[in-house]
Structures are given as structure tokens and as C-alpha cells.
Amino acid sequence: MLRMTSKTPARSHAVRTLHRAASALPLMAATLLSSALFPTWTHAAPRVEDSIAQRALACVGCHGPQTRATQEGYYPRIAGKPAGYLYHQLLNFREGRRHYTLMSRLVDPLSDAYLLELATYFSQLELPYPPHAAVPPSAAAQRGEALVMKGDPKRQIPACVQCHGASMTGVAPDIPGLLGLPRDYLNAQLGAWRTGNRRAQSPDCMAHIARQLTLQEVSDLSAWLSSQPVPSASHPASNLPEPLPTPCGGVTLGARP
């Protein structure tokens, strides 16, 4: 009988097979361990609500929860503002009449129809204003109150209430309210109109009015307006008792000739 040695073909083949199997053991063990520790789960993609409310959540990062404004004193409340006003401001950012890089980039690719849909959504949010902290009266606030209520006819400065409503909560569909806004925001916007960094459709009535104001008067106006509580009936008025004192671009209400 022929004895097999390590040098015979059959013996060599068996040895090579055993070596290959032994060398594969670490890889097999690692694969089994990985499968045990990190199982592969198959999940369906999460369903995301496709609604204007869901898409509008992108705005709360700056404008605060439910777009009621933040405590930083700059970003304004947009919840409940008149739809026409919000729509025109979005257009102004997109078309370069208002300058804030983040807003401009956000709205630049959006269509008129989509901007109007956003504006309408925000205008329909009925959310209460936070409690108002009483502010001691000051000389600056008293001067601001006189401008708000009476204006300065000698310099062709109309009273704020002639356009923004007797309760200063705005007038639908295009005129915003002036209450509930931070003082820093009011100062910044009036200053931007004075310098031309904020514009509106022609005729730009607010730019003309702001340029008639001194820096002290801008500060006085902001001091008084920001110190006033928002009335419980904070909805924009449906109309003005009299025509606007001056034509305003983007405002569909009538104006004096």
C-alpha cells in the first residue's frame, strides 16, 4: 500500500485547504461579531407634513416661537400682521428695496404666489401678545407721543395714527401696527428710511416722513411706541376714518390727492 507523505499531491492539497480555512476564520468571526453588535435595520423614510405651516417653521429661528418675536430686541413679530404688508416686505427684500442678506437669500428663489401664500399664513395667526411691563413716563416719551398723535403739520409730518390707525394696530390689508415692536427695531427702521437703506414702492411715503424727523425725534418716537401696551383687540382695523394724508406705494387704501 502506498503511504501518503506531505509531499504527495493529495496531502499538499489538503494542507492548502486547511490553511485557507484557518486564514478565513478571523474575517468570518469579525463579520459575525459586527452583525451581532450593529444589526442592519431597514427603515422607511420619515413622513414630513407637506403644509405651509411646516415650511414656515424656517422663520421661527429668527422671529421667535410662532413668530411672536424674540427678546433680543431686533427681530420683529410677524404673526398677525396684515397680509398685504407682509407680502410687500417679502417683495422688498427679494427686489432689493430692503437690505438684510439672510432674508434676501431666503426669498430670492421664491415666486410671487409663494410669497403671498406665506404672507397670508402669517397674517392669520391669532396669538396673544406677552404681558406688557409698565415703563415710567419720560420727557422723551412725551415728545414722541405728541408726534404720534398730532404730527407736525408745519413740516408736513402727519400723525402716526392717521395712517396706522387710532389704536396703532395697523389697517388691513397693507398698513402694519406700531405697537408691540422693540425700541431697537423701531429706531433701526426709521433710521434706515432716513438713510435710504430701506425703501418701499414709489411713492415712498415713509422715507419722506422719516427724512423730516431729527435723530432725537426718531428716538422719542421709538421710546413712546415701545412703551405702550398692545390692546386686547390687537387685530388690524378694517379701514381708516379718513383717507391717507399722503400717497403711499403698495397701499391700496385711498389717499388725499
Distance CA 84, CA 41 (A): 49
Residue 130's pLDDT is what?
78
**Does residue 23 or residue 132 have the better pLDDT?**
132
Asked if the model's pLDDT at residue 223 lies above 50, the reply is yes
Highest mean pLDDT out of 15-24, 40-49, 144-153: 144-153
Distance CA 133, CA 27 (A): 70
* Cβ 69 vs Cβ 63: under 8 Å: yes
User: What average pLDDT does range 131-144 have in this prediction?
Assistant: 82
Burial label, 110 (beta-carbon count in 10 A; 0-12, 13-18, 19+): middle
Distance CA 249, CA 139 (A): 34
* Cβ 129 vs Cβ 76: under 8 Å: no
| pLDDT interval class at 75 (50, 70, 90) | confident
Coil, helix or strand at residue 43: coil
pTM score of the predicted model: 0.75
Residue 98's pLDDT is what?
94
Residue 144's pLDDT is what?
95
Find the Cα–Cα–Cα–Cα dihedral 63, 64, 65, 71, rounded to 10°.
Answer: -150
CA atoms within 13 A on the CB side of 151: 16
User: What average pLDDT does range 15-30 have in this prediction?
Assistant: 50
**Does residue 67 or residue 176 have the better pLDDT?**
176
